[in-house]
Amino acid sequence: MPFYGYGMDYGLLLFVLPAFLFALYAQARVRSAAERFSRVMASIGKTGAQVAEELLRAAGIRDVQVSRAQGYLSDHYDPRQRVLRLSPAVHDGYSLTALGVAAHETGHALQHATGYAPLAFRNRLVPVANLGSQAAFPLFIVGLFMGSGTLMNVGLILFLGAVIFTAITLPVEYNASSRALAALEAGGYLRTEGEMRGARAVLDAAALTYVAALAMALAQLLRMLMLARSRED
Amino acid at 143: G
Please measure the distance between the N-terminal and C-terminal CA atoms of the chain and give it in whole angstroms: 7
Task: Answer yes or no: 232 catalytic.
Answer: no
d(CA 155, CA 132): 8
Torsion of CA 225, 228, 230, 233, to 10 degrees: -120
d(CA 168, CA 122): 6
SS3 label, residue 114: coil
Torsion of CA 230, 156, 144, 11, to 10 degrees: 40
d(CA 187, CA 58): 9
SS3 label, residue 87: coil
Give the DSSP H or E segment for 23. helix 17-37
Active-site entry in 35, 53, 54, 105:
105
Q: Which of 100, 130, 88 is nearest to 40 (CA)?
A: 100
SS3 label, residue 27: helix
d(CA 167, CA 217): 9
The residues annotated with a catalytic role in the active site are: 105
